[in-house]
Chain A
Amino acid sequence: MAAHLVLCEGAVAPPTPEGGWAKLLEVQHRGPAANLTLKVQELAHALNITVARRGMDLVRIAAYAAWADQMVSRGGDTDVTGKGWPRHFHLGIPVQDLALWSAPAVQWALRDTLQLASDDVWEFSFSQAHFDEQLRLGDAPGVDPVHMPSDADCVLLFSGGADSGAAAVEAVAIEGKRPLLVSHRSATVADHRRDRLLGELRRLNPGWSFPHTGVVVKRQQSPEADRSQRTRPFLFASLGAAIAASLAIHDVRLCDNGVVSLNLPINGQLIGAKASRSTHPKVIAAFNRLAALVFPGGPQVQNTLATRTKAEVLAVLRQTGQEALLGYTWSCSHIHASSNATPHCGVCSQCVDRRFASLAAGMEAYDPSEQYAVDIFTHELRGDAITVAEGYVSFAMELEPLDDEAVVAAREELVQALPGDATAEALLRQYVDLVHRHAGTVLRVMQDQMALHAGAALRRLLPPTCLVVLASRPRELRTPALVLGLPLVVLSAREQAEQRRWRFQSDLPMYLSGELDSRARNVVQVGDHELYLADAVFATLLYLVIALYEHEGGWLPAPVIGRKALEPTCWEADDVCTDPMVVRRISDLRAALRPGLGRRDPMTVVETVRHQVRLSTHRRYVKFDRKHLLAHRASQVAKLAKRLPRTSPNNLALDVVLGLKPAS
């Protein structure tokens, strides 16, 4: 795949690779032809601070990457395989500290961080800059000298959302820290809301003035080709680290609750960075590796909320008596479509998460449903809205009942978030615990909402696509695999053809575990029912199961069933066997299976036709535990079990069948 060449500030193009460049883009934030705005506001009037050249290089690299990120499409909404999702960029950038950025370790860390955050492939050609650029965070009259940024002991990246708001409160009111807030300014509406939040934050926490700088990094002129902005966290972290380095601060905080941070997929199409990795542990770790090279012994980024759910994060506001701040924060990703009356769309992933969290934390009074344009619990949901809301709830329904191993098996992305070192296992346990707590919270909120709206649901006053109705309705879908309660059995196309060819009449799943009940009878699972068979009857069933493998259509000549060889003549021409022993065994088997057959006629499940008998089902419907059966106390059963195929996919241990362990 050819790379997109991005030449920054008039950098000289690197040699053209074989196959050429996919696209040539030029970006500059200096001069009259600037198409990227890069400004530091407010603190320019607050204190004489200079962001050093290395920091400035880092900020510019991040800004160019963020610009390029928006200028190349990731493919349309119908790109099912994601062929356009990962892009390949080659950035030509003049830098002030060429020796640093040319170092292979620095380039590797830079590429790795950006790739983890965006799924894109990044390459760089650095050249010596012929300009001397430093960000001056200037001097200013009229600012309380007690709360100058020089007093700050941490930098907190402040988006204006509930998580960064709570992190700021926690830092000041609980930890006694003095954070300098840094924001990335890109939309006027967001700036206005953030300023209101900041004012309230200062009012409620008079001991610290929350010095704040907004850095404007904004694309100019050119239309946006992609809106996902997966490199934005890199820009955010770079701003924080560069400013922190200038102030000799080591503690940089980029905070999101742990569930957002991991951002496990709630839908199968969310592969890789399609679920954003703004504060993903791996991205933060990668950024810190880079920061350690750029600012040796300098700032490191941390997410102080990484092990908490959003509801637990909101509890910080309650703990400090600052619940009202929640009303000043906003989370919606559709900021341009929001209004003052309904600042939240209600249906984007951030709004859904916020709504559940504020309900779980008992803070609905500060985050009322009227603030949401759509109430996911009772309003009609369509398109992306139903995908997000349903995914959010089914994620919790799927994972909440699972044990730790099963949670990991269901979301392998948890393993991807781990470092490959000795801390991995402990971290994985933390993550699984976090997922369990989050899932439990979501289900509790759903239960409350279902109870609250039960009357309306009963009177059919709610639309069929609202969350309350979708979660309340029982399963109606009947796939062949879900006829009854046994694990799923879905016949392949070939097996379906065999089922038709041999005119098998039953699709009931069965399982012969080899287990005995307290009265030493053989436990056989038939659909939802557990049946108990005496050894002789069980052996008859086992004969019929083996016949499904050894005889065409599963037909077993009747004499084989008996202890002694019987002549075929024991069967009458009208399909009735006259040998008393065989007749009795078949009859006993049908009687024993009857309770598990529902409306089915036992004669159609255990069929007899012209001196032959069979279990009228495809062998895929009958699972067994060969190992257990081999150890059966009845030698006849143990001997028969040897004839069961060891490598059959139906040969499954009980815990596998019950879903407690994965199938081999």
Chain B
Amino acid sequence: MGHVRLGVLPKTRPWREVVALLYEAPHDVAAVASAVAVAAEKELDRFGAGLPVAYGFWLLTRLTMASRGDFAAELDALGLPSDSTLSATAFSAGLGDHLRQTMGVRAAAFGHFTELASLSLHKTLAETIGQQGAGLFGSTVHDVQHAFAQYSSGDQFANLARRYFGDLLARTVKSFLDREVPRQLGQPGGQLNSIADRMAFDKAVGTYCRESAFIVHDFARDWYGKAKWQTEGDIDFARAADFTGVAMQKLRSELRVGTK
């Protein structure tokens, strides 16, 4: 491995509660996730609904909208690779580059969230193709179009949005918890005593976060239907950004409810 820069959780009271839960009750993933939502409230509000996350979501809406029309023209307009024979892997790589380059100098204002949004975008794209029985390997931009076309109804688009925000939430929470979880391994009286425990915990928290994203499902369905109708299929970034703000609030509230 190359060099890595590691950090720890802050010593503030809310974060100390997260650490205490990891020591005493890591099995209660709802309580752990809730404590994280409380401790990271300001950061999630400030960054979670920021430009990179909103832009990633907006790209998903544009791709979905365009999938039943002139997909190549939309990709050209967005500055994405449009050759229908290009592999889906190359397209996905181009999507990440596009997000990073679009953020440009603004990326510095959003901490890790440009990177997190980019990774969630890759993941959502791969899963979208995967749902059509294909895989990232062997698929082309044409298959990407076909896959997105299956998500152009309100209900299906809601699934897409849920996947994107669920993955983002899971990555974000993991990025916080991973500062402490390994340090808890093998501690006297602690509940995490092996690498197997750590992996099980990771999986449970990830699943919990992804399932928490069901909270945005209905909201996304209704928003998409309305936005599509009002804009005649030309959803602009501002509208997607508004959605992202509300969606992230919902997600944070959903996580926070865990301890009640």
Q: A-side interface residues toward B, CB under 8 Å?
A: 1, 3, 74, 76-88, 112, 115, 119-121, 123, 228, 256, 259-261, 263, 266-272, 274-279, 333, 348-350, 352-353, 382-384, 386-388, 390-394, 397-398, 404-405, 408-409, 412-413, 415-416, 418-425, 428-429, 463-465, 469-482, 488-494, 496-497, 647, 649, 661-664
Contact = CB atoms under 8 A, between A and B. Distances in A.
Contacts of B211: 490, 492, 649
A81 B208 CA distance: 20
B214 A649 contact: yes
B253 to A, nearest CB: 10
A333 B3 contact: yes
B73 interface: no
B258 to A, nearest CB: 4
A121 B108 contact: yes
Contacts of A424: 87, 89-90, 93
A490 B254 CA distance: 14
Contacts of B195: 390, 393-394, 397, 470-471
B4 A349 contact: yes
Contacts of A481: 29, 203-204, 207-208
A490 B207 contact: yes
A266 B4 contact: yes
Contacts of B5: 74, 228, 270, 274, 276
A475 B194 contact: yes
Contact of A477 (B7, B104, B200): B200
Given A386-B182, A421-B90, A477-B200, A664 B163 contact: yes
Given A277-B2, A278-B3, A473-B197, 9 more contacts: A81-B40, A121-B107, A263-B1, A268-B177, A274-B4, A275-B4, A388-B6, A412-B122, A470-B186
Given A349-B2, A387-B183, A83 B29 contact: no
Given A269-B178, A492-B214, A476 B194 contact: yes
Contacts of B119: 412-413, 416
Contacts of B86: 421-422
Contacts of B1: 259-260, 263, 266, 275, 349-350, 352-353, 388, 392
Interface string B191-204: 11111111111111
B123 interface: yes
Nearest to B173: A268
A664 B159 contact: yes
Contact of A1 (B108, B131, B171, B194): B108
B13 interface: no
Contacts of B126: 405, 408-409, 412, 415, 662
A457 to B, nearest CB: 12
A86 B130 contact: no
B185 A465 contact: yes
Given A80-B175, A85-B111, A269-B178, A469 B155 contact: no
Nearest to A493: B257
A492 B97 CA distance: 35
Q: Please give me the 9 A-B residue pairs with the lowest Cβ-Cβ distance, nearest first.
A: A420-B94, A473-B194, A82-B112, A268-B174, A268-B178, A424-B90, A493-B257, A464-B186, A475-B196
B87 A276 contact: no
A405 B207 contact: no
A408 B139 CA distance: 14
B90 A422 contact: yes
Nearest to B39: A80
26 contacts: A79-B7, A81-B46, A86-B108, A120-B108, A121-B105, A268-B171, A268-B174, A272-B112, A275-B2, A349-B2, A352-B1, A382-B183, A384-B6, A390-B185, A398-B199, A405-B130, A409-B123, A412-B119, A412-B122, A415-B122, A423-B90, A464-B186, A477-B26, A477-B200, A479-B200, A491-B30
Given A80-B176, A121-B108, A408-B126, A415 B89 contact: yes
B3 A276 contact: yes
A274 B4 CA distance: 6
B237 interface: no
Nearest to A481: B204
Nearest to A647: B155
Contact of B111 (A86, A393, A394): A86
B173 to A, nearest CB: 9
Contacts of B2: 256, 260-261, 263, 275-279, 349-350
Nearest to A353: B1
B6 A269 contact: yes
Interface in B1-53: 1-11, 26-30, 34, 40, 43, 46-47
B225 interface: no
A429 B28 CA distance: 38
Contacts of B192: 477
Nearest to A467: B195
Contacts of B91: 420
A428 B89 contact: yes
B237 to A, nearest CB: 20
B136 interface: yes
Given A77-B7, A420-B93, A490 B107 contact: no
B152 to A, nearest CB: 15
B125 to A, nearest CB: 9
B183 A416 contact: no
Interface in B219-260: 254, 257-260
Interface in B119-147: 119, 122-123, 126-127, 130-131, 135-138
Contacts of B89: 415, 418, 424-425, 428
Given A86-B107, A415-B89, A492-B30, A474 B4 contact: no
A419 B137 contact: no
A121 B4 contact: no
Contact of A350 (B3, B7, B104, B258): B3
Contacts of B115: 119, 271-272
B182 A267 contact: yes
B87 A425 contact: yes
A123 B199 CA distance: 42
Contact of B112 (A85, A266, A412, A425): A85
Contacts of A494: 254, 257
B212 interface: yes
B78 interface: no
Given A352-B1, A394-B199, A493-B254, A78 B9 contact: yes
A493 B258 contact: yes
Contacts of A82: 111-112
Question: B89, B118, B136, B210 — which one has the most chain A CB atoms within 10 A of its CB?
Answer: B89
B3 A83 contact: no
A475 B90 contact: no
Given A268-B177, A386-B182, A471-B195, A415 B112 contact: no
Nearest to B81: A420
A203 to B, nearest CB: 30
B46 to A, nearest CB: 8
Contacts of A274: 4-5
A390 B192 CA distance: 13
B116 interface: yes
Nearest to A266: B1
Contacts of A428: 89, 136-137
B165 interface: no
A418 B109 CA distance: 26
Given A80-B40, A271-B115, A464-B186, A1 B257 contact: no
Contacts of B3: 228, 275-276, 278, 333, 348-350
A422 B3 CA distance: 31
Contacts of B34: 493
Contacts of A465: 185-187
B193 A81 contact: no
